[in-house]
Structure 1
Amino acid sequence: MTLTSHDVTAVLGPVDEALLAEIVATGATPTELSEAWAWAWINSDEALIGEGRHLPAGTVAALVDLLSTDQEDWEE
């Protein structure tokens, strides 16, 4: 099941239309978005690797990049 705009806002809360479109265009599932959000929110690859988790790959990695870029833009 691919993401809908409702799925995206259920996980992330309100997001701008451009980011919403980019996220939906990845073809990700709601589970992949939730996993990516956890990675981007924690924003600490070293801590998660220390817990024995692998770095994200594929769609999840693409989503992490989108979310991390959006977070950096918001902080500026």
Structure 2
Amino acid sequence: MSMTSENVTAVLGPVDRMLIAEIIATGATPAELAEAWAWINSEEALVSEGRTRPSGRVAQLVDLLAPDDDDPDFNPTSEF
């Protein structure tokens, strides 16, 4: 199933259109986006459960969505 902007906002809430386009361009599925979002929001809990770190498209999404350590104002769910 290919991802739509509605799929992205269903998982992330309102986000910048450019970010939506980048997410869709990964070719990821809505399930992969949900998994990436879960990793970003609860990495320690998932590691504690013994889950392996994401790879492939999920890892790509984590890179797109994870806070940039160099930018303290970064917020993937803020609209521009």
TM-score range, shorter chain: 0.7 to 0.9
Which runs of 5 or more residues in structure 2 are unaligned?
76-80
* Equivalent in the alignment of 1:22: 22
Question: Counterpart of 1:12?
Answer: 12
Q: Deviations over 1:23-46 (max 9, x none)?
A: 00000001000000100112x3x4
Q: What amino acid is aligned across from residue 53 of structure 1 in structure 2?
A: R
| TM-score, normalisation: structure 2 | 0.80
Q: Which residue of 2 aligns with 1:34?
A: 34
Q: Which has the higher contact order (CA 8 A, sep 6+)?
A: 2
- Which segments of structure 1 move beyond 2 Å, counting only runs of 4 or more? 46-50
Higher helix share: 1
The alignment covers a number of residue pairs equal to 72
Identity of aligned residues (%): 63
TM-score normalized by structure 1? 0.84
Q: 3-state DSSP class of the match of 1:48?
A: helix
